[in-house]
Chains A and B, each alone.
Chain A
Amino acid sequence: MGYAIGVDVGGTFTDVVLRGPLGEVTVAKCLSTPYDPIAGIANGVTRVLTGVDPALVTRVVHATTLATNAVLERKGVRVAYVTTQGFRSVIPLGRYARVEEDRYDLRFTPPPPPVAAGDCFEVVERVSARGVVLTPLDLDSVRRAAAEIARRGITSAAVCLLHSYANPDHERQVAAILRESVENVVTSSEVWPEIREYERATTTIMSAYIGPLMASYLSRLGERLASLGVHAPVHVMESSGGVISAELAARRAVAMIESGPAAGVLAAAGSGFANVISFDMGGTTAKTCVVRDGRPEITHEFHVGGKGSFGGRRAGTGVPIKTPAIDLAEVGAGGGSVAWLDAAGALRVGPHSAGSDPGPACYGLGGSEPTVTDANLVLGYLSSASIPLSAPLADKALDRLAGPLGVSRAAAAHAVHEIVSASMASAVHVVTVQRGIDPRGYALVAFGGAGPMHAARVAERFGIGTVVVPAHCGVASAAGLLVADLSTDRVLSRLDAADPSEVFGALAASAAEDLGVSPSDPGVRVSRSVDVRFKGQSHDLTVAWSSARAELEARFFERYEQVYGISQRGEVEIVSYRVRVTLPATDGPAVTHVPVASSGPVGARLAYFAELGGYSEVPVHTRDTLAVLSGPGIIEDAESTIVVPPGWTAALGPARAVHLTEEPHEQ
């Protein structure tokens, strides 16, 4: 067993985690280098490898926000879109959902389409919903499009023809001709052959848009690591939480869009509890996800660049992507979120964030607006442990709220803390209650810079009695990469296929080929599921496959009741078939357990707890001094601060995780 490296590149920090043969962990947190992320990675890798022979590294696993950022910042390559005659306006017209304030905004203009109207091309052909050719493909029309695309110097093309999930033949022919003159050609039947032309097209377009960037980035990353002496294969995390080889990632770039957030969820999944809610709160956003029986929930559609609202990413406001992704809810609030008074004098928090420049007022970098971090400092939750924070500047910032509100500084700070905790709770609500899941009985796993400060308060809102703060909670995503399985997915839409086993077989073989394995290899897991709906309904639910129809229906009815609360029966039909092929990661050794050297608290300070009527002096521990702590109290380490409110007890658990448990209430 050699060394494994996990690399997570975030907006502010690049985290690198090295796990040695004995489970020893070395962590490096470096500033990200947005102009060239590889520089930051090389810096971190060099630091963790100090004193280690790079040749002993056997695996590098990488989570990257490159794909997301390219989409959000519109920095992908120019794409030509090729579709069925009569449909070139469909992408420019878009399917924007007008929600919330958009509805009353006469000056609202839909966001620009992912491909320019002038770069949309048509070919003469038509296939029916059953895959029957209604109009044969006119090859001349394809050649005309190809010539024009090449003449414009466009090097990447996305092909999405109507009903190509039912019959991909025309798309294949179009691609073959385009490839003679266009460098990068992606077809919808390869990328994600699922019914609904708009989402299939945007998924294909995004693949063409970011694929070339991803390919060049990953190849440069491989070269840079080699120059450091690391020749181990590079794996990249997919949105769905599996990892695939760098070569495959370059081809399936669209599956990497949620690469970064997925890694954190895997860390939560590895916390030792079967059912957990991961809670990752950083500077500008917070993300939640449910892990059931050790497996993160998966969604089959998400929107990148959409509006967040009430904890969910609002469908219809971003670019829809159909490839599977870990089902995260995200809210635009974090430690840097600014608190403000609106026109009617009400206190609001976010979505504007002070970011890292100028940062919260207490950073002393020129910020003066009150942020969540400033409020937490005023409340005594934070101190200047790792970075120097200015209490007078935080006080001054909070006074900008307290004055107009006519309340004390502490009351204003406490209100900010409460509002943010409720925002966080809304993200938990989306992934649990709204999905028909009762969060009680789940453990909340908190990480990210601000997560452990708010975790117990969020848990209280749902009657969640256990909070876990893992060791290395500040670099949890990078650590999570080291436990990721090799895995990839396939789908095919086909209304009640005559021979499901044939469909599954083909999908599994194709997915396995991507991973370089065979479905029958020992250790390889093939999971099959289907999208089922009541005949006449339009929305479907994904359930585990069973070849016994009665069993399949029973699973669907049960899932239906769980999601909608309706015990409905009726004729059902299968819309799509899904396969996920997984080669489990070889279990690395557990993180070395340092024996608890229990001693007294390292200090004490005044902290604000509403149930105690205000400020009181509470003990401050570090993980090293913690055995058992009855709240109120505070546990600080280099990466984060854990607030233990009254009624909660903190103890050091396995793998140096801190476990918080709430004492049962007397009702």
Chain B
Amino acid sequence: MSSDVLTAEVLRNALVVAAEEASIVVVRSAYSTFIVEGSDASAAVLDARGRLIAHSMATTLMNSMALKVALPELIRDVPLETMRPGDVYVLNDAYRGGVHTNDLLVYRPVFVGDRPAYFAATMIHVSDLGGLSAGGMAPLATDIFLEGLQLPPVRLATSGGLEPAVEAILRANSRTPDKVMGDVRALVAGTAVAAARVGALVAEYGAEGLAAGIDDYLDYTEARTRTALADLPEGRFEASYPIDDDGIDHERSHDIRVAITLERHLSDGAGQRSSEDIEPQSPEVIAEGPETRVPGRPETGGPETGRPWSPEMRVPGVPEMRVVVDFAGTGPQVPAAINASASQSLAAAVFAVRCFLDPTIPMNDGCLRAIEVRLPEGSLLNARSPYPCGGRYVPIYAAMEAIFQALSDAVPERAIAPSGILQPFSIAAVGAPYWIHLSYDFGGVGARQGLDGPDATGVHFGIGRNSVPQAEPVESRCPLVVESIETIPDSGGPGRHRGGLGSRTVYRFLADCHVTTRGDRLRLAPPGRDGGLPGRLGGFFKRHLDGTVERLASKMNNVRFAAGEAFVVETTGGGGMGSPHERDREAVLADLAAGHITERGAQEDYGLTRRPDPVS
């Protein structure tokens, strides 16, 4: 064994640091209102075979899976041999790995010799690229053309600077051209930083040494993933989770179905695991029949599959476990913004499975090899053009919840009740000059076995409350007053373990504006588990000048608010777990003291009979 293998950890950290630096640059120099407060920026390092090698710590899987799935599409349109040092490429095509039109995926090749060997990639939700409403939310879009400008893979910059034609197109299609170009420059600069770091690693380790080190890293990650999978019981576990409605027909819900199979993998040697082909892959390329399979698909390794699996990298006896996540039976795509592109559904499935594995496993292609995801083509989770994909988080959160529920059945000691989810909204000027406040609030997390659910915080996809804007900077930038940010008492689903609370935020406007929303789980409450009760439903509301409050639909586009009126965002509480009457009395009293429940809630939900002593 070489000392390189002994100190492989050094290289692993260096790769993540490369991505991390890129994301720091993007976050801090971007203009997008979505990320200036929330740091929602992503950066990744991939190789020319389309493998995800590392991503920055704040990168969500939604974004890194997009960067992974779209890279082969870029290489298909722009062959590697035509790329030049200094070139930078961009795309946002949702049907070719992208997310939705506002999310720009930017790639810079890193050359080894005269050929690109790696790619530094960055991605953010830019400030505006057209579509039905400023800022990129088009909840009532019926096709993708209403969601904004579509970009196939094109060259964005060369060593000489931005491509003037692309810049002109981007500017012409944005309500905020200067800000969009600021975002684009940040994306480009981020790739430069990560590319320089990867270049330094090539110099330090040598081209072959780095490639071998990366192969080891991916193999190592696969081994850890399979080891963790072996802790789960074998078997088939099914669940489904509903979507409230598509925003157009308010009465009809849609279902995501999943069947998860945990099984011993039929091992047939090293070639199976070194499955990456030198040819770029894409959902279309590996589509089999009516469904698309993404990683984990057994393949035959070619002669250039890199270093063979080295047995010494693994603890002897690691079982050959794998998991198959099959969404057969999921509802068909609809002409409304509740479909997802394949990359986003892949991210949801991998994320949700990982929530039941060792959380410290690195995230890269090695992890993906042990997780096979089947996405029926033309379904809510794998939409085809021109079905809109902008509302992808609605179906993928339902997909994640379905997996959580199926795996909660498999592993009851780590069960979690369904949660309230994030509720995005935008507030924008009714005309030029545009100001946009694009944000979201979080619902309460479902109760966990043995634990209450956290309040109004994102359990999913790794974003936390740090991404919710603060009142002072928002008020200093936009003509509005944030009247309150509160948790809603009694909103957590009662149970032996209580669901997390939802929140209420009130914005009073000082100027007329347009409000756009994209909510779900506002009609069908997250249910409890094992006798726990559902979380309280949240909603979007308009408070009129006379003080009356009107409930709005969960998905609305450009609802006009007059100065003086207020927009109220209430998020949904998480479901409870176990009967509320089994809840520890001290915990009920503590909730009462902290204002998490009211006296009425203590009596009606938890059966607390005696009025407690005043808090001391």
User: Complex: how many Å from CA A570 to CA B185?
Assistant: 13
The listed residue (B58, B414, B486, B487) touching A107 by CB distance below 8 A is: B414
Out of A101, A310, A564, name the residue touching B25 (CB < 8 Å): A564
Question: What separation, in Å, do the CA atoms of A346 and B404 have in the docked complex?
Answer: 30
Contact B29 A566 (CB under 8 A): yes
CB-CB under 8 A from A347, the residues of chain B are 6-9
Known: A129-B476, A196-B473, A565-B25. A96 touches B486 (CB 8 A): no
Q: Digit string of A524-541 for contact with B (CB within 8 Å is 1, else 0)? A: 000000000010111100
Whether a CB of chain A sits under 8 angstroms from the CB of B285 is: no
Task: Choose one: A86, A314, A346, A415; the contact of B3 (CB below 8 Å).
Answer: A415
Once the chains bind, are A536 and B471 in contact (CB under 8 Å)? no
Which residues from 300 to 336 on chain A have a C-beta closer than 8 Å to any C-beta of chain B?
A: 309-310, 314-316
Q: Which of B9, B456, B462, B484 contacts A419 (CB 8 A)?
A: B9
Residues in B neighbouring A418, C-beta threshold 8 A? 3, 6-7, 10
- Can you list, as one digit per residue, whether each of A223-244 has a CB less than 8 Å from chain B (1) or not (0)? 0000000000000000000000
Q: Quick check: B455 and A93 within 8 Å, CB to CB?
A: yes
Would A86 and B483 count as touching, CB distance under 8 A? yes
Contacts A198-B470, A538-B473 given; does A344 touch B485 at CB 8 Å: no
The range of chain B's interface size is 35 or more
- Contact string against A for B residues 469-493, beta-carbon threshold 8 Å, 1 for contact and 0 otherwise: 0111101100001011111000000
Q: Do the beta carbons of A344 and B6 come within 8 Å of each other?
A: no
0/1 string, B396-436, CB within 8 A of A gives 1: 00000000100000000010100000000000000000000
**Residue B552 at the chain A interface, CB threshold 8 Å:** no
A490 within 8 A of B: no
Contacts of B483 in A (CB 8 A): 86
In the complex, the chain A residue whose C-beta lies closest to that of B12 is: A346
Per-position 1/0 for B6-48, Cβ under 8 A of A: 1111100110110011001101111100001101000000000
Contact of A565 among B17, B58, B193 (CB under 8 A): B193
A70 at the interface (CB under 8 A from B): no
Stretch at the interface among B71-79, B152-160, B219-227, B269-277: B219-227
A345 on the B face (CB < 8 A): yes
Near A by CB (< 8 A), chain B positions 341-359 give: 351, 354-359
Q: Indicate if A472 sits at the interface (CB-CB under 8 A).
A: no
Closest to A134 in B: B481
Q: Is A500 an interface residue (CB 8 A)?
A: no
* A520 at interface by CB-CB < 8 Å: no
How many angstroms from the CA of A560 to the CA of B189 in the assembled complex? Answer: 12
Bound Cα distance A104, B466 (Å): 17
* B487 engages A93 (CB within 8 Å): yes
For B356, the chain A residues whose CB sits under 8 A away are 106
A566 touches B186 (CB 8 A): yes
B481-A126 in contact (CB<8A): yes
Q: How many A-B contacts are there with CB distance less than 8 Å?
A: 233
- Specify which of A116, A406, A429, A534 is in contact with B1 (CB 8 Å cutoff): A406
Binds A, one of B95-103, B372-380, B387-395, B589-597: B589-597
A109 touches B454 (CB 8 A): yes
B417 to chain A minimum Cβ distance, whole angstroms, is 11
Enumerate chain B residues within 8 angstroms of A344, measured Cβ to Cβ.
220-221, 223-224, 227, 313-315, 318
**A98 pairs with B463, CB closer than 8 A:** yes
Q: Could you tell me the distance in whole angstroms from the C-beta of B210 to the nearest C-beta in chain A?
A: 15
Residue contact B9 to A89, C-beta cutoff 8 Å: no
B595 close to A118 (CB less than 8 A): yes
> A554 within 8 Å of B by Cβ?
no
Contact B13 A537 (CB under 8 A): no
Q: Is A615 an interface residue (CB 8 A)?
A: no
Chain A neighbourhood of B49, CB < 8 A: none
Q: Which residue of A lies closest to B311 (CB)?
A: A345
Query: Which residues of chain A come closer than 8 Å to B186, judged between CB atoms?
Result: 564, 566
Q: Which has the most chain B C-beta neighbours within 10 Å: A341, A344, A347, A407?
A: A344
Chain B residues, Cβ within 8 Å of A198? 470
Report if A99-B594 is in contact (Cβ < 8 Å); known contacts: A198-B470, A346-B8: no
For chain A, what secondary structure do more than half of its interface residues adopt (helix, strand, loop), or is it mixed? loop
- Say yes or no: A99 contacts B58, CB within 8 Å: yes
Say if the beta carbon of A563 comes within 8 Å of chain B: yes
- Which residue of chain A has the shortest Cβ distance to B484 in the bound complex? A86
Instruction: Say if the beta carbon of B615 comes within 8 Å of chain A.
Output: yes
Q: Are A163 and B487 in contact (CB under 8 A)?
A: no
Establish whether residues B28 and A539, one from each chain, have CB atoms under 8 Å apart when the complex forms.
yes
Closest to B312 in A: A406
User: What residues of A have a CB within 8 angstroms of the CB of B357 in the complex?
Assistant: 104
A33 CB to closest chain B CB, in angstroms?
Answer: 35
Contact B313 A538 (CB under 8 A): no
A residues less than 8 Å from B20 (CB atoms): 310
Cα separation A328 to B522 with both chains bound (whole Å) = 46
B192 at the interface (CB under 8 A from A): yes
Within the complex, the shortest CB–CB distance from B60 to chain A, in Å, comes to: 8
A349 to B9: give the CA distance in the assembly, Å. 9
Query: Does B459 count as interface, using CB distance less than 8 angstroms?
Result: yes
Residues on B lying within 8 angstroms of A by beta carbon are 1, 3, 6-10, 13-14, 16-17, 20-21, 24-25, 27-31, 36-37, 39, 57-58, 178-179, 182, 185-186, 189, 192-193, 220-221, 223-224, 227-228, 312-315, 318, 351, 354-361, 404, 414, 416, 448, 451-452, 454-459, 461-468, 470-473, 475-476, 481, 483-487, 503, 506, 593-596, 615-616
Interface residues of A (CB under 8 A from B): 85-90, 92-110, 116-118, 126, 128-129, 134, 152-153, 162-163, 195-198, 309-310, 314-316, 341-349, 405-407, 411-412, 414-415, 418-419, 422-423, 426, 429, 433-434, 495, 534, 536-539, 560, 563-566, 568, 570, 610
Other 8 A-B pairs with CB < 8 A, given A104-B357, A563-B28: A97-B58, A106-B404, A108-B454, A110-B457, A152-B616, A415-B6, A429-B17, A536-B179
25 contacts between A and B (CB under 8 A): A87-B484, A88-B486, A93-B456, A93-B503, A98-B462, A99-B464, A100-B57, A101-B359, A103-B359, A103-B461, A106-B404, A109-B454, A110-B454, A117-B594, A117-B595, A118-B595, A198-B470, A310-B57, A347-B9, A348-B9, A405-B6, A411-B3, A418-B10, A537-B30, A537-B36
